[in-house]
Amino acid sequence: MTFAVWEQLLLALLVAASAAWFVKDLTPKLRHIRAGKPEERPRLDRLGSRLLRVVKEVIFQSRVVGGRKVAGSLHATVFLGFLCFGLETLDHFLEPYGVPVLHTLLGVGGTAVFKAALAVVAVLVMIAISGLAFRRFVMVKISPGPKSYSSGVVALMIFLLMATYLNGIAADPVAAKANWWLHALLILVFPPLILSSKHFHILMAPVDVFLRTHHLGDYRPLDLDMEKLAEAEEEISLGLETVADTPWKMRMDFLTCVECRRCTDQCPAATVGQELKPREFVLAGRAALDGDPAAAVVGSVISEKALGQCTSCGACEAICPVGIEHLQLLVGAKRSQALASGVGMVATEFLQSIERHGNPIAPPGKRRQELLDELGIPLYEPGETDYLLWLGCVWTYNADAESSLRSMVEVLDRAGVSYGVLAEESCSGHHSRRQGEELQFQTLAGENIDRFEANQVAKVVTGCPHCFHTIRREYPTVREGFEVETIHHSELLMQLIQDGKLSLSGNGDTRRLTFHDPCYLGRYEGVVDEPRAIIARAGFSITELERRRERTFCCGGGSAGFARHADDESNRVDQERKREIKDSGAEVLITACPECKMMLDATVDETLDLVELVARSSRPPVAAQGAAEGEHPA
Ligand code: SF4
Ligand code: SF4
């Protein structure tokens, strides 16, 4: 095709206008991001792992497809088209100036093959974008609202882009020159349009995914040095008090949200009809960037009530396909409540009990020592003991949890593991941190780290996923040089089985059994295979719950949920999980968290911690058992 000089000039002008429009609209967005507070954590460390994440989640669209199989696959097809058409678009715009990009790079034969392959992609993209538009505008019940007008325009443009490409390579194109210009104009309108719509994520998602924290809920300790705070010339914010306190990555998150509603669909509070809806606070954050910077985050971005309903389960952040970190906002807002305003907090009795007694459940009294004596649990001996057995508050102070601890001790003894406990153990501080009580968390963590160091502890095993996550991920950020290998009991049990130190067998129990993945074990730490492998060794096949593994559903106990008061019986998170467990037809429920067990107890005939199942299934044969019992008269 040949182009007159005036056409070359017109194209150059249009490209310049499109670029200028794009820059004009991009500038205020960049200004919002640049006005954000500095970040507390590195965002450019471990570059290899960040790049791999982009390849997996952006190029291969793993989260987009994993979250919603059909709609995600359609989106991935459109994205494939987006990638494939880059070279073709360059060729299209340089053609009027006599620069044959494709011919130069691929030769005549290669160009023909490339164009034919693109034709197939174009047809697939037309089908996929039609499917997405149908889902969005016709299947209104399942598609996330509100419907944006720009989505429809973008869908139509993508369809027309593909149609004009196909027409352009046809043997006898219809109105070839007009078709060429239409294709070019559609491309030129695209960049400004994406800036004024949720399609801004096309630009931002790869960056946001690249910058995301390496693990869920990567909170950094606030500097709470009172002297520094008192001497500071500028007022220092404690948490996210106002919109002006939001850091730049959080602002980027607000602007990147693609409004897909996956986070809200996964949120346990939203599922049971509570006020908390993660997508809404992200979009409220976006709107707040254009408002008064002095507006309080609690109130303008998220309501006090909604904030109090969060269980910190992490489901919203784990599902988000564009790298948004909901948890940073939630904990930041809670810190402002606990450390600055002192208003609107929940679970206050729980936190007061920790303040007074070092644990949230009961005055220590003699309970802990009596338990250690009764179960014959030894103290950790520096240089002698292999594992520090971290008990956690529920196993120590909740009488109903004694059977789990008893089983743990039984199994460790049976497998010949060298273990011991600390003479004193404070709450790990997990829930304090999630309620924004950063000072309390840092105090508790500091006390426990002192004890670890005094006892030269190198390895910790615990049955509590909350403590497991906190000691493993958060204590090293509280004190430099804290290097302790921390594992969950399910990992140790599996290791003991693999090493032949524990042997499990079925005991003829044919009841239907299911497993509930605790959020901080399955989603936060990815420990999902070990419990299942252990249950299989114990002779059971698991009737899986619909929401499981990394996509598990919270038991309602997170963020001290067992101490918070739900609005009414009809919209409690634990009731929803119990319903799902009951509907599975299971008669036995296994979990691997003292808090989950506490929340879900009595849902079915029997609820056991994983270690209780192991204790039952690894008992010695009856004769040996009788002999052993005879050696230890009560
Ligand atoms: S952490 Fe869990 S409860 Fe909190 S907003 Fe996210 S999904 Fe909802
Ligand atoms: S925050 Fe993420 S998951 Fe939620 S609506 Fe926005 S893009 Fe979707």
CA–centroid distance, 489 to ligand 1, in Å, is 26
Average pLDDT over residues 437-441: 96
Q: In the prediction, which pLDDT does 620 show?
A: 53
Q: What is the pLDDT of residues 206-263, one digit of tens each?
A: 999 999 999 999 999 998 887 777 777 677 788 999 999 999 999 999 999 999 999 9
Q: Answer yes or no: is pLDDT of 17 > 60.
A: yes
Is residue 280 very low, low, confident or very high in pLDDT (cuts 50, 70, 90)?
Answer: very high
Average pLDDT over residues 595-618: 95
Q: Answer yes or no: is pLDDT of 77 > 70.
A: yes
Tokens at 372, concatenated: 């250690």
Q: In the prediction, which pLDDT does 139 show?
A: 83
24's CB contacts (< 8 A; 6+ apart) are: none
Closest ligand, as measured to the CA of 519: 1
Q: Whose CA is nearest to atom 7 of ligand 1?
A: 267
Q: In the prediction, which pLDDT does 624 show?
A: 44
Is residue 380 very low, low, confident or very high in pLDDT (cuts 50, 70, 90)?
Answer: very high
Q: Answer yes or no: is pLDDT of 632 > 60.
A: no
Q: Whose CA is nearest to atom 3 of ligand 1?
A: 310
71 in contact with ligand 2, CB cutoff 6 A:
no
Q: Whose CA is nearest to atom 6 of ligand 1?
A: 316
Q: In the prediction, which pLDDT does 628 show?
A: 45
Q: What is the pLDDT of residues 360-379, one digit of tens each?
A: 887 766 789 999 999 999 99
Q: Whose CA is nearest to atom 8 of ligand 2?
A: 260
The pLDDT > 70 percentage for the chain reads 95
Q: Which residues line the pocket of ligand 1, CB cutoff 6 A? A: 266-269, 276, 278, 310-316, 326, 330
The pLDDT > 90 percentage for the chain reads 80
Is residue 569 very low, low, confident or very high in pLDDT (cuts 50, 70, 90)?
Answer: low
Q: In the prediction, which pLDDT does 38 show?
A: 93
* DSSP track, 384-408: T-SEEEE-HHHHHH-GGGHHHHHHH
Please give the DSSP secondary-structure letter assigned to residue 379. Answer: B
Q: Whose CA is nearest to atom 3 of ligand 2?
A: 320
258 in contact with ligand 2, CB cutoff 6 A:
yes
Q: Whose CA is nearest to atom 6 of ligand 2?
A: 257
Q: In the prediction, which pLDDT does 40 show?
A: 83
Q: What is the pLDDT of residues 45-76, one digit of tens each?
A: 999 999 999 999 999 999 999 878 999 999 99
In a mutational test of the pocket of ligand 1, which residue from 266, 303, 310 has the highest number of ligand atoms less than 8 Å from its CB? Answer: 310
More confident: 87 or 367? 87
Q: In the prediction, which pLDDT does 266 show?
A: 96
CA–centroid distance, 73 to ligand 2, in Å, is 17
Q: Answer yes or no: is pLDDT of 336 > 80.
A: yes
CA–centroid distance, 278 to ligand 2, in Å, is 8
Query: How far is 53 from 141, CA to CA, in rounded Å?
Result: 33
Q: What is the pLDDT of residues 504-554, one digit of tens each?
A: 998 888 999 999 999 999 999 999 999 999 999 999 999 999 999 999 999
Closest ligand, as measured to the CA of 285: 2
CA distances from 141 to 134, 137, 146, 546 (A): 12, 10, 11, 21
Q: Whose CA is nearest to atom 8 of ligand 1?
A: 267
Question: H-helix or E-strand containing 608?
Answer: strand 606-609
432's CB contacts (< 8 A; 6+ apart) are: 351, 354, 438, 440, 441, 444
Q: Whose CA is nearest to atom 2 of ligand 2?
A: 320
| Ligand 1 nearest atom to the CA of residue 327, by list position | 1
More confident: 608 or 194? 608
| Ligand 2 nearest atom to the CA of residue 319, by list position | 3
Query: How far is 368 from 424, CA to CA, in rounded Å?
Result: 9
Q: In the chain, what is the greatest distance between 2 CA atoms, to the nearest angstrom?
A: 104
Is residue 425 very low, low, confident or very high in pLDDT (cuts 50, 70, 90)?
Answer: very high
Q: In the prediction, which pLDDT does 566 show?
A: 52
Q: What is the pLDDT of residues 282-291, one digit of tens each?
A: 999 999 999 9
Q: Check: pTM over 0.75? Answer yes or no.
A: yes
